[in-house]
Amino acid sequence: MIYLDYAATTPMTPAAMDAYRQAAETYFANSNSLHDEGSNASGALEGSRKLLASIFGGSPSGLHFTGSGSEAAFLAIYGLAMANREKGRHIITSQAEHSCVRNSFNWLKEHHGFDVSMISSTENGSISLEELKKELRSDTVLVSIQHVNSETGAINPLKEIGELLSDHPATFHSDCVQSFCKLNIRPAEWGIDAISLSAHKIHGPKGLGAAYIHPRTRWQPFIPETNQEHGFRPGTPDVPGVVSFAAAAREQDQKREENFNYVHKLKQQFVGQVLNQCHDCIQFEGDPDKSSPYICGLRVQGMEGQFAMLQCSQKGVGVSTGSACQINEQKPSATMLAMGYDPEEAKQFIRLSFDPATTTGEISRAAEVLTDVLKSHLEHVKM
């Protein structure tokens, strides 16, 4: 099968797998143990923490490992909101956030009485700075806006958001799962207090994420009196997983610009080939100049995205109908709804996501399959 669902997950690279195997053999001890083997494991853990933090210019002491990117987002959002609740209980996010972020805010609303403002998306998929500015209040304590949308690839203007918040006491969190090691991320320079990351989106192991909170920023642990990960999350750290995460990140970051340019050409090739055949029944979403080349979202007019996805799968091309974390809900794309589409239009959405491992031949074949699926459907409708 031609796999074009890299935004859902990626295979581990040989370098990441080798790093995991070697670390599992060498650093098997509990990194909190005080004997020499424990100290060796702790050294590997802290070395990996330092490497990962250096990629986005952060302080190692602010990086906390978690069991996933979703858990990292929840613990960061909870910690930032609860630590500042005496200043206010108003928080802002966007309607197009990943489900784990939206669910975290809904949980804070239901269980801790926070007032949540969810802003919509512009026609290119990113948020409106003017709408964000209008929603800001004196009691706003947290703003969480994703860097790259997982369905359309729309890139939000984090630097500009940081500048907008520079004179406001609210803390600023961003879900950077789809941008880490793919786009440039500079939290300190952009006024971002916290970001959340995931290993398996960059060819690292599954079951591992990280939350970065600037050391100067106040946060509250979800589970009190935790000793591991600076009190952020309980449990014995997965040292081999962390070492593998760092190895994958280093490998991807070293090739970041090269990979970006290559994948950008792949997306241009796919869009051009499909529009050449089906320009009247395909709607590509997002501004091509302001979106990640790794993600390509489109609506198949007159056909449910789930049907198009199944037809492509039967023909050997793996695509998706959006974020894998919400597909089982069988609901319209939250991103499409945030962009103003009605539920039926939102159900027409499918997503393809690319990787440096994707070949031009695979892109050409995928475009052929999708156009064949569309033409067959249109002929069936006309009968």
Whether the Cβ atoms of residue 50 and residue 76 lie closer than 8 Å to each other: no
Claim to verify: residue 34 and residue 168 sit in the same structural domain: yes
Claim to verify: residue 266 and residue 145 sit in the same structural domain: no
Assess whether pLDDT exceeds 90 at residue 325.
no
Assess whether pLDDT exceeds 60 at residue 328.
no
Whether the Cβ atoms of residue 301 and residue 346 lie closer than 8 Å to each other: no
C-beta neighbour count of 103 within 10 angstroms:
17
Whether the Cβ atoms of residue 282 and residue 313 lie closer than 8 Å to each other: no
**pTM across the whole model:** 0.95
Assess whether pLDDT exceeds 70 at residue 383.
no
Claim to verify: residue 213 and residue 87 sit in the same structural domain: yes
Claim to verify: residue 171 and residue 235 sit in the same structural domain: yes
- 333-348 b/e (C-beta count within 10 Å ≥ 16 → b): bbbbbbbebeeebbbb
Number of domains, the chain: 2
Mean pLDDT over 223-229 rounds to 91
Mean pLDDT over 228-255 rounds to 97
pLDDT, residue 380, reads 63
Mark which of 201, 231, 254 sits at the end of a domain: 254
Supply the angle between the helices 69-83 and 99-112 in degrees, to the nearest 10: 30
Assess whether pLDDT exceeds 70 at residue 334.
yes
- Tens digit of pLDDT for each residue in 171-195? 999 999 999 999 999 999 999 999 9
Q: How confident is the model at residue 374 (pLDDT cuts 50, 70, 90)?
A: confident
Q: Residue 64: give its domain's CATH number.
A: 3.40.640.10
129: CB partners within 8 A, 6+ apart = 157, 160, 161, 164
Mean pLDDT over 260-266 rounds to 98
Assess whether pLDDT exceeds 90 at residue 84.
yes
Question: So which residues are the catalytic ones?
Answer: 325
Claim to verify: residue 207 and residue 304 sit in the same structural domain: no
Q: Rounded CA gap, 361 and 351, in Å?
A: 19
Mark which of 254, 279, 313 sits at the end of a domain: 254
Element (H, E) at 149: none
What is the chain's mean pLDDT, rounded?
94
- Tens digit of pLDDT for each residue in 108-142? 999 999 999 999 999 999 999 999 999 999 999 99
Claim to verify: residue 309 and residue 217 sit in the same structural domain: no
Q: Rounded CA gap, 138 and 135, in Å?
A: 10
Q: Which of 98, 73, 106, 135 is nearest to 334 (CA)?
A: 98
- Tens digit of pLDDT for each residue in 296-319? 999 998 899 999 999 999 999 999
Dihedral of the alpha carbons of 324, 338, 127, 112, in degrees to the nearest 10: -80
- Residue 193, CA distances (Å) to 52, 83, 196 in order: 17, 13, 11
pLDDT, residue 140, reads 98
Claim to verify: residue 32 and residue 171 sit in the same structural domain: yes
In this predicted structure, which of 17-26, 186-195, 272-281, 293-302 has the lowest mean pLDDT?
272-281
Q: Rounded CA gap, 180 and 202, in Å?
A: 8
Claim to verify: residue 20 and residue 169 sit in the same structural domain: yes
Claim to verify: residue 294 and residue 237 sit in the same structural domain: no
Claim to verify: residue 135 and residue 209 sit in the same structural domain: yes
Residues pairing with 154 in the sheet:
291
Domain that residue 328 falls in: 2-8+256-382
Q: Locate tokens 């060498």: which residue?
A: 26
Claim to verify: residue 121 and residue 163 sit in the same structural domain: yes
CA angle 315, 317, 322 (to 5 degrees): 125
Assess whether pLDDT exceeds 90 at residue 201.
yes
- Residue 376, CA distances (Å) to 7, 303, 312, 369, 382 in order: 28, 11, 12, 11, 10
Mark which of 223, 254, 285 sits at the end of a domain: 254
Assess whether pLDDT exceeds 60 at residue 333.
yes
% of the chain with per-residue pLDDT over 70: 96
Largest CA distance in the chain: 76
Which residue type, as a one-letter code, is found at position 65?
F
Claim to verify: residue 184 and residue 250 sit in the same structural domain: yes
Q: Residue 293: give its domain's CATH number.
A: 3.90.1150.10
* DSSP structure class, residue 210: E
